[in-house]
Structure 1
């Protein structure tokens, strides 16, 4: 990409790794930030819940017989979906903890 077409670089006003990708075009305040503490709370709450649900559905799928309803296929699918949500929550939790440490200047 041609740097001359994009205009002057936008200053980093947040603690993100890459800074802003686009200039502000809306009416949001210049100091607007995401609700990091709410994301931290939700990730801490739902990560273990999703992982426990994944384990529960996997055990249910393993114990279900050939003619049972629901079948083992949909149960494995739900277990996989819950596991992926739990993994996504764990990654988000790690990113948020690292961001809070970086903003506060704490131990790394």
Structure 2
């Protein structure tokens, strides 16, 4: 079986589909979504936790199911926070690279 160089299409290469070579995620959109999701999920987590703590054994929904929902929203909050940190870091790196590129172009002109 022939070996394919890294990054070339094939069973051992990196690209397997028709995606663009320089595909980039929509960091601005991800920033907005994460910025809205973090406080929203955090508030829902707190509200469900308080509701679970104040519910009795005979209440419906039960305190256990409310606690599970609170835990799910807590995990969603953490995921949104991690995504927010990643997006901010990527934007910072991209801005620094753009400044460096502009500086290099300015030095050559």
Q: Which entry has the higher C-alpha Rg, 1 or 2?
A: 2
Among 20, 25, 34, the residue aligned to 1:34: 25
TM-score, length-normalised on structure 1? 0.76
Shift of 1:65: 1.2
Shift of 1:58: 0.2
1:68 aligns with 2:65: no
Larger relative contact order, structure 1 or 2 (CA cutoff 8 Å, min sep 6): 1
Structure 2, unmatched stretches of 5+, are: 98-109
Q: CA RMSD in A?
A: 2.2
Counterpart of 1:28 in 2: which secondary structure?
Answer: coil
Among 50, 54, 59, the residue aligned to 1:59: 50
Counting matched residue pairs gives: 93
TM-score, length-normalised on structure 2? 0.75
Among 35, 39, 53, the residue aligned to 1:48: 39
Among 3, 8, 19, the residue aligned to 2:5: 8
Task: Note the alpha carbon deviations across 1:50-94, whole angstroms, 9 max, x for none.
Answer: 010000000000111121111100000000000110011001100
Shift of 1:104: 0.9
Normalized per residue, the structure richer in helix is 2
